[in-house]
Chain A
Amino acid sequence: MNDGSGQLDPRRHEQFMRQFTANQRNIYLYIRSLMPNLADVEEVFQQTNLVLWQKFDEFDPETNFRAWAFRVAFYEAANHRSRSRKGGVRFSDEFLAEVAAEAERQSDATEARLAALGQCIDKLPEHDRRLIEGRYAEGASGESIAAALGRPTRWVYKAVTRIRRALLQCVTRTLEQEGLI
């Protein structure tokens, strides 16, 4: 049970926990851009969270939590790549460095992008919205959605691709209108 070790400053812990929960999505989004395989994303995300908690007393509350978490995530992604079996699909170090730089450039625009995405989803026709939400539900797959809707799997893939691309266009347009890009 709680071993009682490591009595830590509760105020710092509180701060840390706020930052940790508030940045979960950002960390996940960042890791996604670094990994070619979704299953790896989940693994690295979990591992990153674990390391963040383990090293929480190393975190300086005066510094930027997100930047620190991104560094941990980048390191964990690199670790995962070197651990994974030979023949596993991976991006090159150079590519990852470029992506990480892009993530940093875009970092401040993330909240605006997500807000725009929310608006764009609201604007989707009802059946498109249901379909995209269904496709992205945890544990769902193109096949499972196709089975539930009684449609061919190919139809689902095509529809999801169409909606996803439309969402990106909508997000970009929204940000342009708001003068953010």
Chain B
Amino acid sequence: MSQLYDLLDVMCERALSADEAARIETLVRGNPQAMRLYFSYLQLDAALRFEHGAGATTLGMAQAQGQVKDHGKQTYTPTLSPFRGRSVWYIAAAAMITLAFTAWMLINIEPQSTDQHPIRSQPVALLTGSAAAMWSDPPVQTALGSELTPGTLKLTTGTVQLMFHSGAVVTLQGPCEFDLTSEGEGFLRQGLLHAYVPQRARGFRIDAPGGVSVTDLGTEFTMRVDGGRQASVRVFEGMVMVQSAADSTSQTFTAGQAARVVAGRIQTAAADDLARLPRMLFAAGIEWDKAFDVTGPESIDLSGELVEAITPGGNMPVTVAIGDASVTFEPGHVWRGGAYNGALPTERQTTPLGQVLTTCEIGHGPVQPVELTDLIVGQRYQIQVFYADERGDVTMKIADAQETLSEASEVVLHSSGSGGMGQSVIGHFTATASTRRFIVEAGPDRRNAHISALVLRRIDGAMQKVNTSVERNGL
């Protein structure tokens, strides 16, 4: 049995090898006692996986029975967009949940407070993310990791992420008024909300004024209430059921579909509605380290696996050699960027990992976005930016794009550095979407923004804090 236990522990942690699978079969087949152990151990593993996703603390809280109301007249269209195998949404969701959970764990690993005040109301959710959030009356606990009890949240501006105890993760974008009702329910009075509902929290429900209910049947949707009257919902993955008490109707909507409820009637949403229901992923910012002087090839960080290296300067000799496993800049030439001639970098076509394209939109103007595309959602990346300019010491600011829902994080690079070879900075981020933007901004003494080189590398996902340690370096 001890051998079987060991193999089952392996099976709980990683994919089995063919040999290990064969050994399990040999041990289990024809042995009822071993079969019982096999089945009960895997059942336990699966139950933990199913129930404890996202750090829930109680078993069986996510049962969805009883959350579906009876209505007389109903119309349904039970179509589902086919899932694409182990699809990207799943990984994206996992990444998002991991962020939320990590915040929970890092906070809870601290010694517990010995607060003697009686708890009047059971907490139903946890505040797991906050970006530029401004709250209006009544004030709420706004520290990351605060337990939230039922009540109304009034967010004036900014974005917050809540993790319900059922496991559902909700992002609110201000201005927004939202009632926390229970661990599996909320009420959107006004504003925009994004919900990711893991499988164990299916049946999670958001109500809206006018007797509107949106019940999630897995997995991701955005919902909006305007002027306290019109509610609209857009499904990104899985399926939701929209119910209108006024009209006693309900309809299911699947991935790619959107609905709105006007005066109690459920309708298919118009194109205008779609634009107003964006997919909001709460992204942790790029965590930039301190800028450092470039001294030579040793300044290039070779952690992980190269995805792409480019020099945005279109009319200069290529100073980047791209190999499958490493990147080599010509010694001493790392700072050679050169003037931008308006063309996209030619390296874009020649990168060995052609499926990952980097558009380095460095053009004329003081603020330029750089967009990394075709990222693997859930993957942890390292980005290294080089900047040098032979015309003297001018600064360039690298910052998170304004549209991300994260704390601003920025770093300033000096073009000459102490050795005259410019400066470099390394940042890390976990992809929460297939694209990631950051902003390059010219210093006060420059009209055009540019960088000299950019190296993107895939690294193993070490757990990270969410917006708790944004460092402002080099300012």
Q: Which residues of A contact B (CB under 8 A)?
A: 1-8, 10, 13-14, 17-18, 20-22, 24-25, 28-29, 32-33, 36-39, 41-43, 45-47, 49-50, 53-54, 56, 87, 89-92, 94-95, 98-99, 102-103, 106, 110, 113-115, 117-118, 121, 129-130, 132-134, 136-145, 147-149, 157, 161, 164-165, 167-168, 171-172
Contact = CB atoms under 8 A, between A and B. Distances in A.
Interface string B1-41: 00001000101110111101100110011000001101111
A137 B52 contact: yes
B264 interface: no
A165 B63 CA distance: 26
A145 B109 CA distance: 12
Interface stretch (B85-93, B277-285, B400-408): B85-93
Contacts of A22: 63-65
A120 to B, nearest CB: 9
Contact of B378 (A139, A145, A165): A139
B9 A148 contact: no
A164 B12 contact: yes
Contact of A89 (B21, B87, B109): B21
Nearest to B46: A32
Contacts of A28: 46, 49-50, 199
B43 A21 contact: no
Contacts of A121: 59
Contacts of A136: 48-49, 51-53
Given A3-B77, A53-B80, A148 B38 contact: no
A22 B217 CA distance: 11
17 contacts: A10-B76, A24-B200, A28-B199, A33-B42, A39-B86, A46-B83, A46-B85, A56-B78, A89-B16, A89-B21, A106-B40, A134-B105, A136-B48, A137-B52, A137-B97, A138-B97, A139-B97
Interface stretch (B142-150, B312-320, B460-468): B460-468
B394 to A, nearest CB: 38
B116 interface: no
Given A32-B45, A114-B59, A134-B101, A98 B35 contact: yes
Query: On chain B, which size bracket covers the interface?
Result: 35 or more
**Top-3 shortest CB links A-B:** A118-B59, A139-B98, A10-B74
Contacts of A143: 460-462
Contact of B35 (A1, A99, A137): A99
Given A10-B71, A36-B24, A38-B49, 5 more contacts: A13-B74, A25-B200, A32-B49, A47-B83, A137-B97
Interface of B: 5, 9, 11-13, 15-18, 20-21, 24-25, 28-29, 35-36, 38-60, 63-65, 68, 70-71, 73-80, 82-83, 85-87, 90, 93-95, 97-98, 101-102, 105-106, 108-109, 198-200, 202-203, 217-218, 239, 241, 251-253, 257-259, 268-269, 378, 460-463
A5 B252 CA distance: 13
Contacts of A1: 253, 257-259, 268-269
A91 B25 contact: yes
B251 A2 contact: yes
Contacts of A38: 15, 49
